[in-house]
Structure 1
Amino acid sequence: MTPIAVRTGDNGWVTQADRLVDRVAAISRRITDAPEWPAVAAIGLGTAAVIETVVQLEGTGANLSIALLLALASTAPLAVSREHLVLGAGVVAVANLLSVLAYQWTTVAGLVALLAVIYLVGAVIVTGRRQRLKEAAARDESSRLVADTLLEHALRGERARIARELHDVVAHHISMIAVQAETARLTTPGLPAEGADRLVAIGDTARAALTEMRRLLGVLREDAGTEPTRKPQPSLQQLVDLVDDARDSTGASTRLIVHGLVGPLDPGLELIAFRIIQEALTNTRRHAPGAAVDVELEYGADELRLRVRDNGPGRSTGKSGEGHGLLGMQERAATVGGWLRTGPAPVNGFLVEATLPIPRPVSSETVAR
């Protein structure tokens, strides 16, 4: 018989058989969720089984006592199905089987009880599987949240260190403004009083800004977990020493290759370029010990390009295995509007490549405008 199809809005065509199955499943769930259903089912089915046994075996000469015992055993264990499901299901199944073997039949109530315990066992198995899946999903979500939190903390610390270093550079510039303003006031012959007052104001403003900058640097050092240092921030002038140190520490070939017209750049840009190369060399020592490394520096008219390549076995660039070094390099490049790419080199090994825009110098005419 072909089931009748029923149109149900946007859900498509659903057969009456599907609707009936869903309804039966819903009713079954409501029944099994009721706390009193095992006892009620056991009493009802047990009574029905006893009556059916008496009716079927009356006048046959069969041992009625054993038949009644089997009838009760095939239904009554439903009463303990919540606490002892496996035991109850086993007794119901065995009692029905013995009834068939002994009398070539079993009660309808016994069969209903058997179907009920089979349903319960299946529901427990399915529910348990769903629960394990839910627990696994919850664990995965918890692990992801923990990893995201740790990553966010790491990024904050890295950004604090970057900001601290760049603020050191800015603080140096501010101090130079104060010094030059004071020097100009004292060494300029015939300087009008109004001009001297303006230079004094410039020096006072620079010193006030420097005080606030030092206060901010103290906070950034606390966030980054670093101690104050009087060493100047490195620049590309120390790049030769950095490459020499890398070569001496690993014993492997480490070359510095420079292209283009070398000239002084913005101190903040040189600091970021130096730190990216430094971190790339550190990662090479950590992940590809003994590998040869080429450090390339290319000066362009509008940008500075960096490439650090080793000939090691390469390594994963996924976030789960990259640590915080690559993320720190990406943060540094983004600070000056540049970009950084990391990944396997064209033939073998690992490549770190960055492009950093060179800021255009600000002319006095632009400032006046």
Structure 2
Amino acid sequence: MGTNGARPVRMQWWLLLGLSAGLLLVATATITTSVYEVPVLLAYMAASAQCAALPLVLLRPHPATVLQFAGVAMFSWSDTDTDGIWPLPVPVLVVLVLHIGLIGARCPWKEAVATWWASAFFCIVLVVADPLGRGLDHAEASLIIYATNSVLVLFGAILWSQRAAVHRELVSARRDVLLEQTQRALVEERGRIARELHDVVAHSMSVIHMQATSAAYRLPGLDPEARAEFSRIAADTRTTLREMRRLLAVLREETAGPELHPVPDLGGLGELAASARRGGIPVDVEVTGDLPSSALPDTVGLAAYRIVQESLSNVVRHAPGAATRVKVAASGTELLVEVVNGRPTGPARPIEEPQHPGHGLIGMRERARLAGGTMWTGPHSHGGYRVVARFPLPADSPAQRLPDVDQ
């Protein structure tokens, strides 16, 4: 990081300015020696000061400007016949204008304008304090040419610099917005998961409450202590259900009671496939293994259903007309869910509202993780896209692990 507000420098800028400074050094020293008859030693010393200041601008703008002015002073006060372009011979003027342009591109615009004003004032001082007494009449043309060209280069460099700064700010703003939207999507997805988990747990707690409440009627001969224990279980269950419904109302930002409905599971795959077919997607559903919905944990069945649902929605949105295969296989220890679509056969449908890639995948991965599973997504080897999710199942029956899916 340079001082005086200069921005970080890339290596290609160092290489470009270093090479340019070397070429300008040779050209300036040669031209001033052969055309303007500046002594060789003085010409190379002054040209070295001027040209070395150019790459130094990238690191130390203020010392570089002082070094540039020193080189200009050595050329200007040399005892030579400059044929009406004193105090700035053509090669000296070119290097000085390039220096002002670099200042405009590297430094804040106020510093750049101040540096240009200082360079114009410095040229006037050189004329007034000339030890040879050549006077302002000899320098008028040179000063006008420098002022006109340098101010154009300066404002061009400032505009370029501001454009680059605005572009960087826009890129940073887009990145921040995308990150915020991604986080918001993750929070919303977690909220939906929490509401659906509420329905899962509420169902189980309702069953417990019913069993505890009816125990005295279903089990004759219970002693008083057992009756009291069942009564406490029923009361605790009612309290838990009230707390869960209150929490759900907070998640939904509402005061009314939650809308309860059955939790979807893999038993609804047929409806999902039919809905996708109505959207123009040929879907083939393959279910293997012993897969009664009642044998699956509710969280696993819900997560698997939502992953298939989101995968089919993505096919409808991004690969219209693509043939899609949904495979669900279960063993005693694992549930495998795989959705593979081929290449689209029609143009992608226009999206009416702004969409941002990756939010659906984020939600699917979050669901798989919360259900204790893993998920993999990526392009299919034969074209199209593949989504694979694996969920562990309670080992209620001896069975071999499902074969690995080629990823």
TM tier, smaller: 0.5 to 0.7
CA pair 128-251 structure 1, distance change in 2 beyond 3 A: closer
How far apart are residue 38 of structure 1 and its match? 5.4
Q: Which amino acid aligns with 1:134?
A: A
Q: 2:370 aligns with which of 332, 335, 356?
A: 335
Q: Which amino acid aligns with 1:27?
A: P
- Structure 1 residue 268 and structure 2 residue 299: aligned? yes
Whether the 8 Å CA contact 1:304–1:355 is kept in 2: the answer is yes
Q: 1:89 aligns with which of 139, 145, 148?
A: 148
SS of match in other structure, 1:74:
helix
CA pair 27-286 structure 1, distance change in 2 beyond 3 A: closer
- Structure 1 residue 344 and structure 2 residue 403: aligned? no
CA pair 194-252 structure 1, distance change in 2 beyond 3 A: same
Instruction: Give CA deviations for 1:13-69 in whole Å, capped at 9, x if unaligned.
Output: xxxx89975499643546884797357425423325696447xxxxxxxxxxxxx64
- Structure 1 residue 74 and structure 2 residue 142: aligned? yes
TM-score norm. by structure 1 comes to 0.68
- Aligned equivalents of 2:52 and 2:303: distance in 1? 69
Match of 2:357 in 1: 322
- Structure 1 residue 233 and structure 2 residue 301: aligned? no
- Structure 1 residue 250 and structure 2 residue 269: aligned? no
Instruction: Give CA deviations for 1:279-310 in whole Å, capped at 9, x if unaligned.
Output: 11111111122222211001022111001112
SS of match in other structure, 2:337:
strand
Q: Which amino acid aligns with 1:343?
A: G
- Aligned equivalents of 1:39 and 1:123: distance in 2? 13
How far apart are residue 246 of structure 1 and its match? 2.3
Segments of 5+ residues of structure 1 without an aligned counterpart are: 1-16, 55-67, 78-85, 91-116, 362-369
Instruction: Give CA deviations for 1:68-100 in whole Å, capped at 9, x if unaligned.
Output: 64533433x5xxxxxxxx88234xxxxxxxxxx
SS of match in other structure, 2:261:
coil
How far apart are residue 360 of structure 1 and its match? 5.3
SS of match in other structure, 2:237:
helix
CA pair 52-325 structure 1, distance change in 2 beyond 3 A: same
CA pair 37-348 structure 1, distance change in 2 beyond 3 A: closer
- Aligned equivalents of 2:61 and 2:177: distance in 1? 39
- Aligned equivalents of 2:257 and 2:186: distance in 1? 19
Whether the 8 Å CA contact 2:311–2:339 is kept in 1: the answer is yes
Whether the 8 Å CA contact 1:49–1:71 is kept in 2: the answer is no
- Aligned equivalents of 1:192 and 1:29: distance in 2? 99
SS of match in other structure, 2:368:
helix
How far apart are residue 164 of structure 1 and its match? 0.7
How far apart are residue 173 of structure 1 and its match? 0.8
Instruction: Give CA deviations for 1:217-271 in whole Å, capped at 9, x if unaligned.
Output: 1122239xx9943321112122222222322x13543211111222321112111
Whether the 8 Å CA contact 1:181–1:203 is kept in 2: the answer is yes
Question: What is the total number of aligned residue pairs between the two structures?
Answer: 290
Instruction: Give CA deviations for 1:141-160 in whole Å, capped at 9, x if unaligned.
Output: 11101110111111101110
Q: Which amino acid aligns with 1:88?
A: A
Q: Which amino acid aligns with 1:245?
A: S
- Aligned equivalents of 1:222 and 1:303: distance in 2? 37
- Structure 1 residue 41 and structure 2 residue 122: aligned? yes
Whether the 8 Å CA contact 2:338–2:387 is kept in 1: the answer is yes
Q: 2:166 aligns with which of 119, 135, 143?
A: 135
Q: Which amino acid aligns with 1:202?
A: I
- Aligned equivalents of 1:205 and 1:228: distance in 2? 20
Whether the 8 Å CA contact 1:50–1:71 is kept in 2: the answer is no
Percentage identity across paired residues of the two chains: 35
- Aligned equivalents of 2:117 and 2:267: distance in 1? 84
Q: CA RMSD in A?
A: 3.6
Segments of 5+ residues of structure 2 without an aligned counterpart are: 1-47, 70-111, 348-354, 397-407
TM-score norm. by structure 2 comes to 0.62
